[in-house]
Amino acid sequence: MTYQSVTYRKQLDKRSGSGVLSLEEALAKVKEMADVRSDRTYKNGKKRKAFDQTVEIVMHLGIDPRQADQMLRGAISLPKGLGKSRRVIAFCEGALAEQAKDADPPRRARAIRTLSILGLGPYGETVRAALDDPSPWVAMIAARALAGKDHPEYAEAILDRLHRFEDWSQNLLVSMLSSMGPGVTPALRRTLGDRDEVPRVRAVAADALRDLNDLAVGDQAAGVLETETERDLLAATLRLLGVVGRPDHLEPVRRLCRSDDFVVRASAFGALGRLGGNEDWSLLRGGIDDDSPWVALQAARGLTEAGGEEILEELIAAGRSRSILAREILAEGRPV
């Protein structure tokens, strides 16, 4: 036989003989039974605790909860809430602005980062001033905070100080600038055309303009190819021209396909493939025999983009040098 506690048996005695009760009578009976407690104690003499009771309610609603329009949802408010303590965090922006001037670089960096998360608002100049922070780390955090689509007005300030980040990845700098959106293109064009600027900064501007697909910069980029000689700047400008250039920009590209620098030659063949036509097939074919495998790869890819796949097929059929490269390039453009 299932064991029944003393409290349960006392409550059962009060329930006996009650029959079916109305809702009001049932609630009164529940309250009356809630007062029934056992007088038993533990072996150590302490009285047993009286636990709060629960009431189970069964309702027949005649609905199918599997149907979306007949599902039951409910909420209950407990007398003392969830019993959990709450913590309120207050961001004191004024204090953060003062912390941005702290003597400790990590504290300054955290303050600038927090201000950027909360929104620049009236503290945009405080963050902009951090671009000149003695710590390049703090300055970079400030630059990334300012480099948003909603703040193209800070593009000039970032570009003017981009030379401070010479140890940072060029791809990171390009991504940061291009994330500011089309509103930053005028500042990037000015930087690309500034011959007094550091070549690496101009190269970053060229790559960012390529990512933004700025068609208006084509003539300026062709002019840079005519006047500049620095490797990284030429390579970045050729990559840019390969995206935004026109056939009338081909002359400097063809000339740079014969450059003494293999990095420049590779970028030039890549641009030639995108801008050129069948009149450039022979130049591209010559690039496949280049001593640099990187140049040969770009020339072969350029040949396919210029519509010269048949030359690669002839190269494969003849079994000549670079035939393996030609086979791989053709396989890249064919569905599996």
CATH of residue 329: 1.25.10.10
Identify whether 24 is part of a domain: no
Identify whether 287 is part of a domain: yes
CA pair distance 70, 261, nearest whole angstrom:
74
Cα dihedral 212, 216, 217, 222, rounded to 10, equals: 130
Dig out the tokens for 112 from the structure. Answer: 């600038």
Dig out the tokens for 95 from the structure. Answer: 């204090």
Identify whether 230 is part of a domain: no
Among 189-193, 202-206, 267-271, 305-309, name the one with the lowest average pLDDT.
305-309
- Domain boundaries, position 282: 246-336
List, in sequence order, the alpha helices (H) in the chain.
6-15, 23-34, 93-99, 105-118, 124-129, 136-146, 155-160, 170-178, 185-193, 199-211, 218-227, 231-244, 250-256, 262-275, 281-288, 293-305, 309-318, 323-332
Identify whether 27 is part of a domain: no
Dig out the tokens for 59 from the structure. Answer: 């309702």
Q: Is the pLDDT of residue 55 over 80?
A: no
Dig out the tokens for 164 from the structure. Answer: 């401070």
Tell which wins on pLDDT, 24 or 267: 267
Dig out the tokens for 36 from the structure. Answer: 């029934």
Furthest C-alpha separation in the chain: 109
Mean pLDDT of the chain: 82
DSSP β-bridge partners for residue 41:
47
Identify whether 332 is part of a domain: yes
Q: Is the pLDDT of residue 185 over 90?
A: yes
Identify whether 90 is part of a domain: no
Tell which wins on pLDDT, 137 or 224: 224
Q: What's the average model confidence in pLDDT over 120-137?
A: 78
pLDDT at 17: 65
Cβ contact 266:294 at 8 Å: yes
Identify whether 260 is part of a domain: yes
Q: Is the pLDDT of residue 336 over 50?
A: no
pLDDT at 335: 43
Cβ contact 188:205 at 8 Å: yes
DSSP letter for 53, please: P
- Say how many domains are in the chain: 1
